[in-house]
Amino acid sequence: MARSSCAELGSENTKRCLHDTEGLPAGRLAGYAWYQRLMEKVMADAAPETVSAARCFGGTQYTFQHFSQTTDTTMRFAAFVPSQTAAGPVPVVWFLAGLTCTEENFTVKAGAQRVAAELGLMLIAPDTSPRGDGVPDDPDGAYDFGLGAGFYLDATEPPWARNYRMESYLMRELPAFVARALPADMKRQGIMGHSMGGHGALTLSLRHPGRFASVSAFAPIASPMNCPWGQKALGGYLGPSRAAWRGHDACALIEDGARLPALLVDQGTADGFLATQLKPELLESACAKAGIPLIMRRQMGYDHSYFFIATFVEDHLRWHARVFSP
């Protein structure tokens, strides 16, 4: 049985999870919000457990786990800490992975540590969804929804809303852990991602202006409102309202006024998902209309795999590092 410490309030007959606030009167809702903030602080003060640590290019590659008050599950994340931290905190680049992935895929396949060590960048790779006993999954066992497919948003529909709160986890709880446990300069953060994670990098940076100084993506899902993966995820997690969907679609967010200072995107021309799921031309059009500087590089013959990411990850890390340089 997975650990569950989701706090409850009320009498024995009216207990409910803090995430379940539907129908509460205003006074009770305020009490729940206050107590949830308190519990988040308590959980943030708990140290993450070190699952593994290995020397790598003069730094250390870690995997950590901790109990998340936000998702009500145990969560893992990987962190590469370069040797430059001996002199002080270093900039942080977040990598959000794609469908079916965990924190491990980027860590072991992308080969990013060598360049990160040279540039003095910390790399943080979170998991792609909550996991554990009792966490709901796609009822048909499909790979594109549920476990490994959190889409970097906060679900509002049952039964997903209790655990699938990846946006809050990534924007609030996990950064608090990183800032406290690691020598990270949280004033200099960048974000990048692949496929579903590219979607996450784009939407989180657009939804949280000023958080990330630099943004890049590998083969991102440019407009989930307009592809089968995205329509399934947005409909399942957020319900049928396309107005709610717009808040988690990069192209729609840009159309509605959100902005990025600049954006680097690599897309393989031999990607089997290019025409049906990724649709980079929609992102090109949205950025052009909004005046967002976009470098869209179509890489001839490259597919959707980590071989593609490993080939161009150095360019992306140097892109982020240039923004962080004084």
Give the pLDDT confidence of 193-220 residue by residue, as tens digits: 999 999 999 999 999 999 999 999 999 9
Considering the domain architecture, whether residues 31 and 67 belong to the same structural domain is answered as no
CA dist 312 and 310 (Å) reads: 6
Determine how many CB atoms are found less than 10 A away from the CB of residue 133: 9
Considering the domain architecture, whether residues 37 and 143 belong to the same structural domain is answered as no
Q: pTM score, two decimals?
A: 0.87
User: Catalytic pick from 129, 199, 271, 320?
Assistant: 271
Considering the domain architecture, whether residues 58 and 10 belong to the same structural domain is answered as no
Domain that holds residue 23: 1-45
Identity of the amino acid at 144: D
- Do 72 and 19 form a contact (C-beta atoms < 8 A)? yes
Predicted local confidence at residue 13, as pLDDT: 38
CA dist 192 and 200 (Å) reads: 8
Considering the domain architecture, whether residues 37 and 74 belong to the same structural domain is answered as no
Cis before 89 (ω within 30): no
Question: Sheet holding 214-218: strands in order across?
Answer: 49-56, 59-68, 73-81, 122-126, 90-96, 184-194, 214-218, 263-268, 294-299
Low-confidence ranges of the chain (pLDDT < 70): 1-46, 326
User: Catalytic pick from 19, 194, 199, 304?
Assistant: 304
In CATH, what number is assigned to the domain containing residue 304? 3.40.50.1820
Please write the tens of the pLDDT for every residue from 109-158.
999 999 999 999 999 999 999 999 999 999 999 999 999 999 999 999 99
271 a catalytic residue: yes
Alpha helices in 4-78 (DSSP H): 26-44
Considering the domain architecture, whether residues 10 and 144 belong to the same structural domain is answered as no
Considering the domain architecture, whether residues 5 and 73 belong to the same structural domain is answered as no
Coil vs helix vs strand at 312? helix
320 a catalytic residue: no
- Do 38 and 49 form a contact (C-beta atoms < 8 A)? no
Predicted local confidence at residue 48, as pLDDT: 83
305 a catalytic residue: no
Predicted local confidence at residue 46, as pLDDT: 65
Predicted local confidence at residue 7, as pLDDT: 42
User: Catalytic pick from 129, 195, 205, 223?
Assistant: 195
Domain count, the chain: 2
